[in-house]
Amino acid sequence: MSLIPENRLAELSGDDVKRYSRHLILPEVGWEGQQRLKAAKVLIVGTGGLGAPLALYLAAAGVGTLGLVDFDTVEASNLQRQIIHSTRDIDRPKVASARDRIRGINPDIKVITHNTRLSSANALEILRNYDVVADGTDNFPTRYLVNDACVLLGIPTVYGSIYQFEGQASVFYAKKGPCYRCLYPAPPPPGLVPSCGEGGVLGVLPGIIGCIQANEVIKLIVDADEHEGRSLIGRLLLFDAWQLKFRELALDKEPACPICGEQPTIHDLVDYEEFCGLKREEAEVPVKAISARDLKARLDAGDRIQLIDVREPHERAIFQFEGAKAIPFGQLIRRKEEFNPEIDAVFICKIGQRSIYAIRALRDAGYTGRMFNLKDGSNAWARDVDPSLPQY
C-alpha cells in the first residue's frame, strides 16, 4: 500500500509545473509522483547537521508539509556543517531559523515547528500526524524513541548517523523489514561513543548522509519500488568520507525483536534515558562538581590538586590545560595507580560529560580518592577564567 493513497493526491498548479518540471519528465517520478510529494507530510527530528540537507532538499523537491522538531538554539560551532543556519541566526531557535530558510527556498511549503524536546510523553502525539519520519538526531535515547514510536504507529523511519569521518544510513520500516532495534538491540555503555561535539565531525559528512536520507524519503513517497527502484529497507549503507568508500550490509528482521518481532514485549514508549543507562540509581553516590572559578580560587590559594585531562591528543592540540596530567578516557583504569588518593583530583574534558563517566569508572574500579568534575569542562575555563583560550 502506498504511503500516500490516491484520495490524498494533491493538485498541481501551473507554477508547480514550472518549478518541478525536471521531476515531471522523469518517468520514475512524473505527474503522480509529484502529486504524492506535494501531499506528503514528513517530520524531520533534529535541524542540525543531518536535518539541514534533509530540510533543504525536501523543500526543494516539493514535499508539501515539513515538520521540524528541535529544542536547541543556533551556535557559532554549528555553522561548520549545519548549512540551513547562518551567522545572523546565532542564538535563534533552530526551528525558527530552519523555517525561514525553507520558506526562502519554497514559499509554498507548509512548515510546522515543534520547538520542544522529543520525549516519551509527546512523541506519539507529534509523530502520528506524518507519513515519514527522518531521524537526524545525534544521541541514542532519541534514536530508540523515534524507532519505537514509528513502529507503534506503522510509520517508516529514514535513519542517518555521523561521527568524525563515518556515516550510516538506512530505512527502518517494520511493516516491510527490520527496525533500529533489530540492528542495535541495546545501546552502548554511556561514555563509550562520544558525541560529535566531543569527537568532532568533518563538515561535509552530514551533507552527504543527509542527502542520502532525503533521497530515501523521496523514494518512499513516490513508490520507487514500483519503478524498479530499491530503498534502503533491509540494508545499512556505510560511508567513510576520509577513504571515500561505500559499503553495504544486509539487515534481517530479528524474530525476537522486542518491538517488531514475532512476540513483541514493548507496547508503549519507555524511559529512554534510563534504557540507555544515562540515569543512575538514586542510591548511587553523586559525582561532585567544581566550577571553573572555584577551581581557579583553590589553585591560587595553593591547594594541592591533581588535574587530570581526559581529552584526546587532538583536543589538547587546540590548547593545553596548564598543570594537568594527560590521560585519555580509554587509559584511565589501567593507569589509576598514577593517582594519589590522598590528594583531591579534578577531571577535565571539553564540556564536563566524559569526565563524569571517568569518575564513575574509576569509582567502580576501586579508586577511593576524592574526585571532582570540572563543571562544563575546558570550555567553562576558557569562558570564565582565561578568555584568551579557545572554546571549541
349 is catalytic: yes
pLDDT at 210: 98
Question: What pTM was computed for the model?
Answer: 0.80
Strands 166-172 and 235-240: antiparallel
Whether 281 shows a pLDDT value over 70: the answer reads no
Share of the chain above pLDDT 70, in %: 96
| Most confident stretch, 67-71, 229-233, 314-318, 386-390 | 67-71
Residue 282 has a pLDDT of 43
Tens of pLDDT, residue by residue over 10-38, are 999 999 999 999 999 999 999 999 999 99
State how far the Cα of 232 lies from the Cα of 177, in Å rounded to an integer. 10
For the stretch 50-88, pLDDT in tens is: 999 999 999 999 999 999 999 999 999 999 999 999 999
Average predicted confidence (pLDDT) for the chain: 93
Question: Does residue 1 carry a pLDDT above 70?
Answer: no
Residue 61: predicted pLDDT:
98
Catalytic residue among 150, 257, 260, 349: 349
User: Is 211 an active-site residue?
Assistant: no
* CATH code, residues 6-275: 3.40.50.720
- With H, G, I as helix, E, B as strand and everything else as coil, classify residue 148: helix
C-alpha pair distances (Å), 185 with each of 37, 253, 254, 257 = 33, 12, 9, 8
DSSP letters for 204-259 = THHHHHHHHHHHHHHHHHTTGGGGT---SBTEEEEEETTTTEEEEEE----TT-TT
Domain 288-384: top CATH class: alpha beta
Mean pLDDT of 367-386: 95
Question: Would you state the cell numbers that stand for residue 152, as one nine-digit string?
Answer: 507503534
- pLDDT grade for 203, boundaries at 50, 70 and 90: very high
100 phi-psi bin (left φ>0, alpha ψ -120 to 50, beta other) = alpha
- pLDDT score recorded for residue 280: 55
Q: How far apart are CA 157 and CA 150, in angstroms?
A: 7
Q: Which residue has the cell 559499503?
A: 247
What confidence tens digit (pLDDT) does each residue in 122-149 have?
999 999 999 999 999 989 999 999 999 9
Residue extents of the structural domains in the chain:
6-275, 288-384
pLDDT band (50, 70, 90) for residue 330 = confident
Catalytic hit among 196, 211, 260, 276: 196
